[in-house]
Structures are given as C-alpha cells and as structure tokens.
Chains A and B, each alone.
Chain A
C-alpha cells in the first residue's frame, strides 16, 4: 500500500508559467515533508521542506503548501524554466532518517 502518492506521472508546462506538483500521503503521523528533484544519472537534490506546524514555505521560485487535514502537499514553481525539467519527489516522514518517497512526477518545461 503506497503511503505517498504522486498521482501525475508527468506534467508539461510552458516556460514562464506556473508548475504545480502534487503529493498525497496517508499517515497522519508524518510531520516532515520535503521536495527533491532528480536529473538522469544524478542523485536527488533537495529543494525545499516544510514541517507540520506550517502550511506554507517559500524559497525563491519554489513554494510548498501543506494541507494537513487533506494530507496533501504541493510544490509551486514560478516562473518555470527549462532547467527545472526533472523528476520531482515528495518524501515524507516522522524524521529525516526514514523517508517514504512517492514514485515521482516528471516535469517537462518547454521553451
């Protein structure tokens, strides 16, 4: 049973527009949420995180929103750039030491 679901395997957006990536989780005990991106042949790279005491966290073009009642988080990228094209993961967990990953969403930003 998947504890973390990224229901969109892929997403395509135009350069300059907003990219919205979504993630749903099932375990209400999870209280630490992160987003990573991964290029082919490289390891995942940390983007942004949020703890359960917040509902929004921003870092430059990246904003993560957390809806605890819906067990849902999303990542907004504004404006999207071609270099953002990658697979995005939303690991969640009770601590950093055992994260549960979704299967990822492939984002393609078209010039």
Chain B
C-alpha cells in the first residue's frame, strides 16, 4: 500500500509570493491533516479535512488555507509568503479517530 505522498519535496520562493503544496493520502484514508515544523516550535497543527470539509483549524493566520478534493487528496496554500514561513510542511492521513496518523515526508519550503 502506498504511503502518504507529498509534492514537491523542496520549494524555494520569494517573499510576497504564494505557494501550493499537495498531499495524496493513503488509499481509504479520508482524514488529512497538515502540520508545520520549525526548529524552534516543533510541529504545529495547521488544519484537518474530512470529506472535503475543514473540521479543525490551528492558530495560523488567514494566509494559510487548504482544501480537500472528493478523492481525499488535499492541497494547502500560503499566500503573501514571509521569511518566517520557511519550514517543513507535513501532511498526515488517518483512517479514523483513534487511528494513528500516517505522515508523508514533507515539503521543505524556503522563503528568501
């Protein structure tokens, strides 16, 4: 069974630009979550989608948004990039509540 796939693996953007990251969950997993990992803050929850609906949202500004498609694939978008958005963005999928999250290998975003 294929794992969680995130594309691209690496991305370099300039301040003020926007970026879209993609996540394909494990087949059959309908919940997709996004996390940001930075050296100083660890992993921080961004949002979670289930059946194309955002069910939970973390404490991030409105520049961070996401969506989920009918095939459970998800995208997250960051607009008006800032230097502080440089981080590893991790996507995770789950088959249901109390089931472990399965993480992808992340997208490393660098904002210059």
Contacts and interface: CB of A to CB of B under 8 A. Distances in A.
Interface size class of B (residues with CB under 8 A): 20 to 34
B56 A91 contact: no
Given A36-B103, A43-B104, A100-B45, 11 more contacts: A41-B105, A42-B105, A43-B103, A89-B42, A95-B97, A96-B98, A96-B100, A97-B48, A99-B101, A101-B43, A104-B42
A22 to B, nearest CB: 15
A32 B56 contact: no
- Interface SS of chain A: loop
- Interface SS of chain B: strand
Contact of A98 (B56, B99, B106): B56
29 contacts: A32-B98, A34-B100, A36-B103, A43-B92, A43-B103, A43-B106, A44-B103, A45-B103, A46-B100, A46-B101, A49-B100, A51-B98, A91-B43, A95-B98, A96-B94, A96-B98, A96-B99, A96-B100, A96-B101, A97-B31, A97-B56, A97-B94, A98-B48, A98-B58, A99-B45, A99-B101, A101-B35, A101-B43, A101-B45
